[in-house]
Structure 1
Amino acid sequence: MGTATFFSAPTLADIVRSLFAGYNADTGLLKAQKLGLVQHPNIEVKDKGYMLKIDEAIADSTRVVVALQLFGPDGKHDRNKIAFYNKNHIFIKDEKGNKVGEMYDYGSTDDFYYMMAIFPEPVQTDRLTVEGTIQQLRNTPTKTSITPGNWGFTFNLDLKEANKQTHITPLQGEYTSPDGMTVRLKRLTRMVQGVRLEFDTELSGEALKRSPGELWKEQKLSFHFEDLAGNEIHSVNTRKMPAVDSVMIDGNTAGNKPGLMHWSYTFKELPIDSPYKFVLDGYFVAETDGTSVEFNPQRLKEEAIKLDWKGDRLVLNDFMTVNQPASEGDKLESSLYVTGDLRNEFSFDKWVVRIADKSEFTTQGRGILSPEGDNWKDGVTVLSSINESNKPFEFRFPALTPVPDKLTLIRSVVGKQYTNTDWSLELFEKKNGR
C-alpha cells in the first residue's frame, strides 16, 4: 500500500460518523447491532495525501454493509471523491474464493460511503472476504482530473454468529386464479438483516396457449402484507400511492417445465410473534395480442385517434420525421406521438407498424411511464415524454420517406393485467423459528 508523506489527522466529528448515526440505520442494521454483530475491520490505507478508512461492517447471509470514509490532506471526509466503476471495485468472496457479490454506493448520507452488497440467494458460508481495489480518485468540482493511487484493502467477515440467527418457516398455501395461474407459497427464511419469502407460480395449459414460446416467462406479481386489522405492512407492484415498500432484492427463474416460475423477495422486516396476511392483488403475463388500428399519419395532428385496448386508453396525436437520439443530425427516424393511461404492463408489450406492402417495423418506445397525480391509486400509469412534460411519448421506427397515407399500428404482445384474484393467507412466524 502507498503511504502519504503528509497527512492531517481527521477531526473528532469525522471519526464518530457511524452506520447507526442519524437516519442511516434500517431495521436490519439495528438488529445486528443489538445482537452484537457489528464487526470492526480497522482498515486505514494512505496514499497521495488521502486516507481510506473502514471502522464498521455488518454481514449475514442476506447482505454486507460497510461504512467507508475518505479523508483528504485537510483531514476532512470527502463524499464525492470515489466513483465505483472502472478501476474502483469492492468484491465479496466466499470461503472458496468465489465472487458472490459486488458492493455499490447506496448513498443516502454524506457522512460516509454507504457501501452495500445484497445477495440474490442467501450465501452458504461461515466467512466472507471483502476485497477492495481503489486506484483512482476524481477531483471536484470538475471531476475531470484523476488522482491515481493505491487504496486497496482486504478483510474477512465472520458469519458464524449471524448464521445461528437464521431460521426457516415452511409455508403451506395454494391458490389458482380464474384465468389459470396457481400460486404456491413455500417458505420464509428469517436472517439478521432480512426476511426472504419464496413461492412458485404455474400457468395452466390454457393460460400457456395465450403465452406461447418464451412469453410466459414475462411475469410480474402484485401482492401485499397486512395486519389482521387491514393495515398495510408492505406492498409489491401494487401501483398505488401511498404504499409501503421494503423489498431489498427480488428475483425469478423459470422452472423445469413450461409455465413454472420460482420467485423470491427479501424484505427488510416482517412481523414476528404476530399474525399477518399475505394478500394476492393480481399479476401480469405477456400474451399474444394482435389488436390493431389503421390510420393516415399525415392527418393525425388535425384528427387524433382515440383507442381503448383491453383497459389501456391511448391517443395517437401526431406523426413526424425526426433525428435519431444522440445522432449527428443526418440519421432520421419516424416518430408516432402517443399519450395514454395504461393498466397493462407496458414493459412487456411489443408494438409494430405495418405499411401497405405488408412490411413491418418494430417500434422502440421513447419516453417514461409514471403515475400522474393520484392515478396510481387506481393502478394506472401514464405515458409521457422524457424531457418535456407537454410532449407525448414516442414510438420510434425507421424513417418512412415519403410519409405514406396509410399505416397500421399493431400491438403484437400485451403485458396483460389480471386483477380478478381473491386470495389471502394468514401467516404466523414464531420467534427463533419455534
Structure 2
Amino acid sequence: MTNLDKQITQTLKKVAGELDQPNFVMPDQVVAYKRKRSRLLGTLVLPVSISCALLLTISVSPTFAAYVKSLFDGSDKELQYAAQEGFSQKVNASVTDRGYTLEIEEILADPMRIVAVYSIKDQQNNFIHPDKLHISNVEVTDLKGNVIKETKTYGVEIQENYGYLTLKKPGETEEQKLLLQFEGNQIDSVKGNWALEIPFDLEKTIKASKVLPIDKTYTTPQGLQINLNSIMHSPTAARVDYETKWTEEAKKRLVQESKQVKGKVDSVDPYVRYDDYKLNFHVENEKGEKVKDLTRALDTPRKAVGEYGHSNRSYGFAPLSPDHQYILVLDSLEKTEPYELDVSFEPKQLAEKPVRVDKDGKTIEIMSVTFDEPLNEASPKNEKHATILLEAYLKDISYINLADTILMDDDTDKIINRFGWTIKDEKGKIYNVTGGDFKMIGKDEQGRNHIRIKLQSYEMKELPQKLSLTSELAKKSYDLDWKVPLPMPKEDK
C-alpha cells in the first residue's frame, strides 16, 4: 500500500466514523496521481462500499468540513460555529524540504479575519511542534499577485500539533478570490524553504455578512470626539467601526502637556501625543451580562484620515445572537500624559526598613536594591543587574513606562522628549534603565491602583550612597459610561 493509499484509508476511516458507518473497503485501484511540490491535491473519485457512494475531493472545498471533523473544533467558539455552518475551507496543501513537511490544512476567512491551520511533520510522519517553524512572510494577494494592503500583520496560537495563524483583517479589496502567501525559512535549527500559495474564496462569507449604520456621537470630558459609524456582522465576529478626533481646545491642552515633559529642547517643537490613547469598550445583552470579546484577535491598527489624531478605528467582539438585544458600552479612556513621581533614598538603609514617600495622594515604597539575573531577554546575560523593587499606590494610573525612551528630531539630531524612569546617584550620574517589570496587584483601601515595579540597570556595578528615582509620564485611565444600542440584521424569511 502506497503512502497515498494510507492517507486515503485514514481519511475514509475518519469519514466513516463521522457517518457512524465504519464498514468500508479500500478500493484496489485509484487514479494515478503524482504530487507536485507546493501544489494542492487534485480531485479523486473513489467507490466506497458503504450505504451510498461517497465523492471525496481533497482540495479547497467550502463544505468539506461538514463531512470531516474541522480542525477549528478545538479553537474558539466563534470559529467552531462558523466551521459547523460550512464556512471553513479544507485545503491539505503541503510542501516538503530538508525532510520536513509543512501543510496548510484548513482556512476560515471572512471580512473580519483570515485563520489558517498548519502543521509540521518529519520524515517519519511525526508531528513537530508548530512553534518550531520560523515564519518569514505572510501576506494576501489577488490572483494576479498584487498584495492586499494591511494583511501582513498576524498572530499565531498553538493548540497541540496545530498552529492557528490569524491575519487581523483581509484588507481593503473588491476581490473575493484571493491567495494566502505563507512562507517559512527555518524549522527548529534546520534552514530551508517552505512556501505555499493557497487560494481561498470570500464569496460565501461576504454574502453572510451585513453592515448596518449606527451614527451616534459622543465627546469625552477630555475632549475626544467619538462617532460610531457602523457595525458589521460576519460569520465569525461583529465589529464596530468608529472615528475619533480631538476638539480644538483639547489639541491646545495636548500641546501644553507635551511641553511639561522632561528633556524638551526649546528650539524644537515638542512631541504631541495626539494618538497616544486607547478606548476600552465592552458589549452587554439586555440583562447587563457581558459578551466575551475578541479584541486581541480582531483589534486593527488605526487608519489616519487627517492630522492631530483624526483617525478611523474599530472594535471587534463575538458574533451576536438574533435572540438578544445588545448595547455597546464605552468604559474608559486611557491617555498618556505628564505625571510626576520622585523619591530619594539610601540603598544600604533599606535592609532596616523600606523608604516610603506620601505626596499629593501618591504613595511610593522603595523595598530593596539587589543584584539579580536580567528580567528581559534583550538584556545582557553575562553579568548581574542592579534591581530596584518599588511598590506604588496611585489613583487611576494604568501604566508607567519603564525604560527611558528618547525621541529625536531627525533634522537637527536634538532631543525632543525623554520619558520613562530616571535613576541618578548623589554625584549626578544617570544609570539607564535596561529592563524591568510592571505588574498590577489590585486596589488598596483608598481605591488606588497597587502597582509593583522592578527597574533594572546593568550599568550600576555597585551600590551608590544615595539614589533618586523620577518619572514624569504615565497612562491615566478616565472612567466613562456611554451606552449605545447595537442594530441587528433582520433574519431572512
TM-score (norm 1): 0.74
Residue 224 in 1 paired to residue 271 in 2? no
Helix, strand or coil at the partner of 1:41: strand
Q: CA deviation at 1:267?
A: 2.4
Q: CA deviation at 1:234?
A: 3.8
Q: CA deviation at 1:316?
A: 0.7
Tell me the distance in 2 between the aligned counterparts of 1:72 and 1:121. Answer: 34
Helix, strand or coil at the partner of 1:287: strand
Q: Specify the code of the residue in structure 2 equivalent to 1:412.
A: E
2:215 — aligned with what? 172
2:266 — aligned with what? none
Contact 1:63–1:119 (8 Å) recurs in 2: yes
Tell me the distance in 2 between the aligned counterparts of 1:433 and 1:252. Answer: 34
Q: CA deviation at 1:250?
A: 3.5
Contact 2:234–2:319 (8 Å) recurs in 1: no
Q: Where does structure 2 lack aligned partners over 5 or more consecutive residues?
A: 16-67, 260-270, 403-419
Residue 423 in 1 paired to residue 478 in 2? no
Q: 1:210 aligns with which of 241, 254, 257?
A: 257
Tell me the distance in 1 between the aligned counterparts of 2:140 and 2:227. Answer: 33
Tell me the distance in 2 between the aligned counterparts of 1:403 and 1:174. Answer: 55
Q: 1:258 aligns with which of 293, 308, 317?
A: 308
Tell me the distance in 2 between the aligned counterparts of 1:150 and 1:157. Answer: 22
Helix, strand or coil at the partner of 1:67: strand
Tell me the distance in 2 between the aligned counterparts of 1:185 and 1:382. Answer: 34
Q: CA deviation at 1:315?
A: 1.5
1:92 — aligned with what? 140
In the TM superposition, what whole-angstrom CA distance separates every residue of 1:257-281 from its partner, at most 9, and x where no partner exists? 3243432223242344642112222
- Identify if the C-alpha distance between structure 1 residues 152 and 254 changes in structure 2 by more than 3 Å, giving closer, same or farther: closer
Tell me the distance in 2 between the aligned counterparts of 1:344 and 1:254. Answer: 27
Q: Which moved more, 1:51-60 or 1:409-418?
A: 51-60
Q: 1:336 aligns with which of 378, 381, 388?
A: 388
Q: CA deviation at 1:154?
A: 2.3
1:12 — aligned with what? 10
Contact 1:89–1:103 (8 Å) recurs in 2: no
Q: CA deviation at 1:28?
A: 3.8
Contact 1:89–1:102 (8 Å) recurs in 2: no
1:413 — aligned with what? 473
- Identify if the C-alpha distance between structure 1 residues 364 and 43 changes in structure 2 by more than 3 Å, giving closer, same or farther: closer
Tell me the distance in 1 between the aligned counterparts of 2:69 and 2:332. Answer: 41
Helix, strand or coil at the partner of 1:300: helix
In the TM superposition, what whole-angstrom CA distance separates every residue of 1:156-212 from its partner, at most 9, and x where no partner exists? 112233223332222222223334333322221223333222223334425423355
Aligned residues: 396
Q: CA deviation at 1:317?
A: 1.3
Residue 78 in 1 paired to residue 127 in 2? yes
Helix, strand or coil at the partner of 2:133: coil
Tell me the distance in 1 between the aligned counterparts of 2:200 and 2:83. Answer: 14
Q: CA deviation at 1:57?
A: 2.2
Contact 2:108–2:115 (8 Å) recurs in 1: yes
- Identify if the C-alpha distance between structure 1 residues 309 and 272 changes in structure 2 by more than 3 Å, giving closer, same or farther: farther
Q: Where does structure 1 lack aligned partners over 5 or more consecutive residues?
A: 139-143, 236-243, 385-392
- Identify if the C-alpha distance between structure 1 residues 431 and 101 changes in structure 2 by more than 3 Å, giving closer, same or farther: farther
1:315 — aligned with what? 365
1:399 — aligned with what? 460
Residues 19-38 of structure 1: pairs in structure 2 closer than 5 A: 19-20=70-71, 22-24=73-75, 26-31=77-82, 33-34=84-85, 36-38=86-88
Contact 2:355–2:366 (8 Å) recurs in 1: yes
Residue 62 in 1 paired to residue 112 in 2? yes
- Identify if the C-alpha distance between structure 1 residues 315 and 121 changes in structure 2 by more than 3 Å, giving closer, same or farther: farther
Q: Specify the code of the residue in structure 1 equivalent to 2:114.
A: V
1:326 — aligned with what? 380
Q: 1:185 aligns with which of 203, 206, 228?
A: 228
- Percent of paired sites with the same residue: 19
In the TM superposition, what whole-angstrom CA distance separates every residue of 1:345-369 from its partner, at most 9, and x where no partner exists? 2255722234456665553551242
Q: 1:288 aligns with which of 319, 338, 348?
A: 338
- Identify if the C-alpha distance between structure 1 residues 312 and 180 changes in structure 2 by more than 3 Å, giving closer, same or farther: farther
Contact 1:129–1:157 (8 Å) recurs in 2: yes
Tell me the distance in 2 between the aligned counterparts of 1:397 and 1:256. Answer: 43
- Identify if the C-alpha distance between structure 1 residues 191 and 355 changes in structure 2 by more than 3 Å, giving closer, same or farther: same
Tell me the distance in 2 between the aligned counterparts of 1:21 and 1:335. Answer: 44
In the TM superposition, what whole-angstrom CA distance separates every residue of 1:376-401 from its partner, at most 9, and x where no partner exists? xx7946426xxxxxxxx235374276
2:39 — aligned with what? none
Tell me the distance in 2 between the aligned counterparts of 1:130 and 1:120. Answer: 10
Contact 2:295–2:315 (8 Å) recurs in 1: no
Tell me the distance in 2 between the aligned counterparts of 1:45 and 1:120. Answer: 24
Q: 1:346 aligns with which of 366, 387, 399?
A: 399
- Identify if the C-alpha distance between structure 1 residues 19 and 320 changes in structure 2 by more than 3 Å, giving closer, same or farther: same
Q: 1:275 aligns with which of 325, 328, 348?
A: 325
- Identify if the C-alpha distance between structure 1 residues 78 and 64 changes in structure 2 by more than 3 Å, giving closer, same or farther: same
Q: CA deviation at 1:214?
A: 2.9
RMSD: 4.0
Helix, strand or coil at the partner of 2:300: strand
Contact 1:120–1:249 (8 Å) recurs in 2: no
Q: Specify the code of the residue in structure 1 equivalent to 2:490.
A: K
In the TM superposition, what whole-angstrom CA distance separates every residue of 1:86-115 from its partner, at most 9, and x where no partner exists? 6x65543234421633665421243x3433
Q: Which of the pair has the greater relative contact order for Cα pairs under 8 Å at 6+ separation?
A: 1
TM-score (norm 2): 0.66
